[in-house]
Amino acid sequence: MDRAAVDAKIRELAEPFNKKGIEIKEDTTFAGDLEFDSLTVMDFVAAIEDEFDIIISMNQQAEIETYGQLVDAVHKQQADR
């Protein structure tokens, strides 16, 4: 799957969690812009993990602040599989 396809899929998965319908760009932050709390993060991460059959550990999550970084991390992981 190329980066654009990963992006499209994650965008789709993010939709139910983006309650305020904020426009998601590459530099949109999860904690700041999207106001994700820890529970939302868990559910969102679980949805991505299940979709791509990967693990995004809490250690990796701590390094991911923006939407673009998330797409990069998922793209890299599923490419490495």
**Dist. CA 74–CA 71, nearest whole Å:** 5
**Dist. CA 15–CA 22, nearest whole Å:** 10
The half-sphere exposure of 64 on its side-chain side, counting CA atoms within 13 A, is: 19
Of residues 5 through 44, those in contact with other proteins by CB under 8 A are: 37-39, 42-43
The one catalytic residue among 2, 7, 27, 37: 37
Please say if 37 is a catalytic residue: yes
Q: Please, what is the minimum distance in Å from the beta carbon of residue 26 to other proteins?
A: 26
From candidates 46, 63, 66, 75, binder to other proteins by CB under 8 A: 46
* Candidates 3-11, 16-24, 25-33, 47-55; binding stretch for other proteins (CB under 8 A): 47-55
Looking at the chain, the number of H-run helices and the number of E-run strands are 4, 0
What angle do helix axes 38-52 and 67-80 make, rounded to 10 degrees? 30
Q: Which positions lie near other proteins, rule CB under 8 A?
A: 37-39, 42-43, 46, 49-50, 53-55, 57-60
Active site residues: 37
